[in-house]
Structure 1
Amino acid sequence: MWGLLTSLNDVLIPHLKSVYTLTYVQAMLVQFCFFGAYFVVSLPAGALIKRIGYQAGVVSGLVIAALGCALFYPASTSGYAVFLLAFFILASGITILQVAANPFVTALGDPATASSRLTLTQAFNSLGTTVAPALGGMLILSGAVLTASEFELLPAAGKLAYRASEAAAVQGPYLVLAASLLCLALFFAFARLPRIGAQDGAIEAGGMRSLLRHRHLVLGAIGIFVYVGGEVSIGSFLINYLEQGSVAGLSAAEAAPYVSYYWGGAMVGRFIGFAVMRYVSPGKALAFNAACSIALILVAVFGEGQLAMWAILSVGLCNSIMFPTIFSMALHKLGPATGQGSGLLCMAIVGGAILPFVQGLVADMAGLHLSFLVPAACYVYILFFGMKYAGLYREGSVPA
């Protein structure tokens, strides 16, 4: 559910862009509100989980996410601003899940295999991100979408009716998602899970200064920022990219299932990474995947046709291990500061709000193809981070 809700944005962005005739920057406000919630809510979420525990934190996150999904119904009869509010509330619930789940998983076993364990759980998260675009394409993008010129030919009453009918396409799917989240909340409320004391995730002024002394944590937080920003940027623009005549010339409904290949690659890669990183240094695996991502994006930027299309979709396979690997490497040997470090890393997910916005600006000014140089720059930093800690991480020490 967590993954499904996140990658459904990739379907909704071109849909809302068409319905409300938005620029790329305006359409990226969806991701700005969604991932901006991570920055705003992460610290309160850490304090909440410290008070009520991991299990109750998961239940709270599911209930809040359900409320956000339910708000899509009134948003469809109101306007774009209400959609953005619904995205923020939905993401607030997911943020609480994020803050509770990741440190919980790392605490459930041997610290030496925390990276592979978190990679395994992220693989199931990727199942949702893989299913969502194809499902959203069938349920939300299946209707005939007018081009901007066709829309302008409609009379004023026709424009209002068209926008209302297209916006209403989200009502049914998101009400079903709201009900499903509430069912999951009930399940977790009564499930018997291991009781592990929640570490302090609140970052106070003095605590922040102390955290910043851990250089690998700071560099890891920057890594999370650019990784999430790069991954989300590519996913957000994929449908519009595949609509380009020089690439595939697909309609939005035809392009949506291909987004599943992008997220599906991450799912497959995470199951592979779960096994491989028990024998290979996580830093080396991270650097290798980042280098492959850079090469593939450059092919997509300067290439055309099927080669460019499959190159950008293949970046998903390279993304597979990045988030859990950076996350676990950044938290390595933090001891009592692990909870605060997790809160800092979750705040860094705000990269998913800012970098798609930056790519939107570049797309509006320089064109969609060149805008993919923004995520390429993100992977350059990840390559640096992986190479910096490639040699010493497996031996159990991270250099200052």
Structure 2
Amino acid sequence: MKSKQSFLVAFIMVTSLFFLWAFLHNINPILIPHLKKACTLTDTESALIDSSVYFGYFLVAIPAGWFMHKYGYKKGILVGLILYCVGAYLFIPAASARSYSFFLAALFVMAAGATFLETIANPYITKLGEEEGAARRLNLAQSFNGVGAFIAPLIGGKFILSGIEHTEAELKQMSTEQLQSYLSFEAGTIKMPYIVIGSVVLVILILFALIKLPEIEEKHTTDGKSEFSFRVFRFPHFRWAVIAQFFYVGAQVGVGSFFIRFSKYTMNMGEKEAAYWWGSIAMVGFMAGRFVGTFLMRYFKPAALLSVYALINIALLAVAIMSKGSVAVYAMMAVPFFMSIMFPTIFALGIDGLGEESKIASSFIVMSIVGGALFPVLMGQLSDANGGNIQIAYIVPLVCFAVIAYYGATQLKKAAVKVSVGH
């Protein structure tokens, strides 16, 4: 009984962390158009916001996994929270200097902290209960990740975006003093939200320092090996998960990052309205999709649901690319509902049955989300090469979902994860 209670407390506390990295990722669709204005950037340059975050994941995932392997789950969480807090506070001097490179550095530090949290929390959640319910339990925890996904654009749209959108001609007509005053004002709106973010994370850090988290007794793999090494790639289902996660995160980031630009291009929607639509409709759908997906996994194989959802997103993106006006925007906003289950399902399928090696496997799967650094830049380049046509750039996530659909189909018979029916 005591063990179950400690697992429940741990589950609740660790699930709270899912909000933090959701906020980091889902504030990017706000930061990209905002810093594009404040720092006068091209689409390709603004996509480096995503690159800074996801290269942070790429570079820090292995050290985070090693740290977790050596020092345990709790200490890894504390390090992650410290880095996240420091990164948030770095936004204040970055805004004062209106330095794009400083902003990118702050995002990198926050991403390093989020990498520790995500590398640790995902496998830890799968171990807080019976193995048969691992995918369902991780999807449940990720459902609260969806809360951060819809709150971030709403907060960003209200407190970061000014709603002032000057044309290039209007900017050229401004005097040097007027232009610098306007740009400084735009950069300055970012300060207060990140002071609040840093302070909230500081409180969470103190709470984690005070509570006791249960360490999990890991089972060894069948060959008795449990060292932290690249030998984990000998498992085919893990290798495929790394590839699938690379393409999935690229698709997820690309779909959201340019939504405000997409809405402006296809139906001339203002930035504040687009941010509100993305947060209150698309990201609420993302959160709802997590809960619906968790329920459906009582009756359908995770791999089957993954493949079907990917095919639906291919169809939705095709409509978004070929349509104009509200039809294109509505199709785009439906995509997150069907993206919702993908990350946790791929993750659970990838680490299933790996025992102690799930720690290094978790690092590599988190590391694979460097796709989020690469594909948005490719989208920005496609847009810039076609005269700012951001709509055509959505071919990139469409291709990514095709890879995910194929992955799900290949895992139908191979996947070891079993989903329990009932409680």
TM-score bracket, normalised by the shorter chain, equals over 0.9
Deviates more, 1:225-234 or 1:210-219: 210-219
1:223 aligns with 2:225: no
Instruction: Find the counterpart in structure 1 of residue 188 from structure 2.
Output: 168
Question: SS at the partner of 1:193?
Answer: coil
Stretches of 4+ aligned residues off by more than 6 angstroms: none
Contact in 2 for aligned 1:54/1:198 (Cα 8 Å): no
1:112 aligns with 2:132: yes
User: Could you tell me how far apart the structure 2 residues matched to 1:368 and 1:199 are?
Assistant: 48
Instruction: Find the counterpart in structure 2 of residue 35 from structure 1.
Output: 54
The correspondence of residues 43-54 of structure 1 with structure 2, limited to 5 A, is 43-54=62-73
Question: SS at the partner of 2:286?
Answer: helix
User: Could you tell me how far apart the structure 2 residues matched to 1:59 and 1:394 are?
Assistant: 32
Instruction: Find the counterpart in structure 2 of residue 131 from structure 1.
Output: 151
Contact in 2 for aligned 1:21/1:148 (Cα 8 Å): no
Instruction: Find the counterpart in structure 2 of residue 371 from structure 1.
Output: 393
User: Could you tell me how far apart the structure 2 residues matched to 1:250 and 1:336 are?
Assistant: 50
Instruction: Find the counterpart in structure 2 of residue 55 from structure 1.
Output: 74
Deviates more, 1:85-94 or 1:271-280: 271-280
User: Could you tell me how far apart the structure 2 residues matched to 1:165 and 1:49 are?
Assistant: 42
Contact in 2 for aligned 1:50/1:199 (Cα 8 Å): no
CA offset at residue 328 of structure 1? 0.7
CA offset at residue 185 of structure 1? 0.5
Contact in 2 for aligned 1:113/1:278 (Cα 8 Å): no
User: Could you tell me how far apart the structure 2 residues matched to 1:124 and 1:370 are?
Assistant: 32
Pick the aligned partner of 2:111 from 91, 95, 112: 91
Query: Quick one: which amino acid aligns to residue 235 of structure 2?
Result: H
Q: 1:340 to 1:306 in 2, by over 3 A?
A: same
User: Could you tell me how far apart the structure 2 residues matched to 1:205 and 1:190 are?
Assistant: 30
Instruction: Find the counterpart in structure 2 of residue 280 from structure 1.
Output: 300
Instruction: Find the counterpart in structure 2 of residue 82 from structure 1.
Output: 102
1:16 aligns with 2:38: no
Contact in 2 for aligned 1:281/1:394 (Cα 8 Å): no
Q: 1:205 to 1:118 in 2, by over 3 A?
A: closer
**Residue deviations 1:303-346 (CA, integer Å, cap 9, x gap):** 11111111011000000110011111111222332211111101
**Residue deviations 1:213-264 (CA, integer Å, cap 9, x gap):** 21221111011111011000110000000112xx321111111011112222
Query: Quick one: which amino acid aligns to residue 159 of structure 1?
Result: L
User: Could you tell me how far apart the structure 1 residues matched to 2:124 and 2:354 are?
Assistant: 15
Contact in 1 for aligned 2:57/2:111 (Cα 8 Å): yes
Instruction: Find the counterpart in structure 2 of residue 297 from structure 1.
Output: 317
Query: Quick one: which amino acid aligns to residue 69 of structure 2?
Result: K
Contact in 1 for aligned 2:379/2:396 (Cα 8 Å): yes
Query: Quick one: which amino acid aligns to residue 407 of structure 2?
Result: F
Instruction: Find the counterpart in structure 2 of residue 186 from structure 1.
Output: 206
Question: SS at the partner of 1:144?
Answer: coil
User: Could you tell me how far apart the structure 1 residues matched to 2:232 and 2:145 are?
Assistant: 29
Contact in 2 for aligned 1:294/1:379 (Cα 8 Å): yes
The correspondence of residues 184-263 of structure 1 with structure 2, limited to 5 A, is 184-196=204-216, 207-208=229-230, 210-244=231-265, 247-260=266-279, 261-263=281-283
> What is the TM-score with the length of structure 2 in the denominator?
0.89
User: Could you tell me how far apart the structure 2 residues matched to 1:66 and 1:187 are?
Assistant: 14
The count of corresponding residues between Structure 1 and Structure 2 is 391
Deviates more, 1:134-143 or 1:296-305: 134-143
Specify every segment of 5 or more residues in structure 1 that has no aligned partner in the other structure, as ranges. Answer: none
Instruction: Find the counterpart in structure 2 of residue 317 from structure 1.
Output: 337
Contact in 2 for aligned 1:10/1:236 (Cα 8 Å): yes
Contact in 1 for aligned 2:52/2:373 (Cα 8 Å): yes
User: Could you tell me how far apart the structure 1 residues matched to 2:369 and 2:234 are?
Assistant: 21
Query: Quick one: which amino acid aligns to residue 318 of structure 1?
Result: F
> What is the TM-score with the length of structure 1 in the denominator?
0.94
User: Could you tell me how far apart the structure 2 residues matched to 1:391 and 1:47 are?
Assistant: 32
Pairwise CA RMSD: 1.9
Q: 1:132 to 1:51 in 2, by over 3 A?
A: same
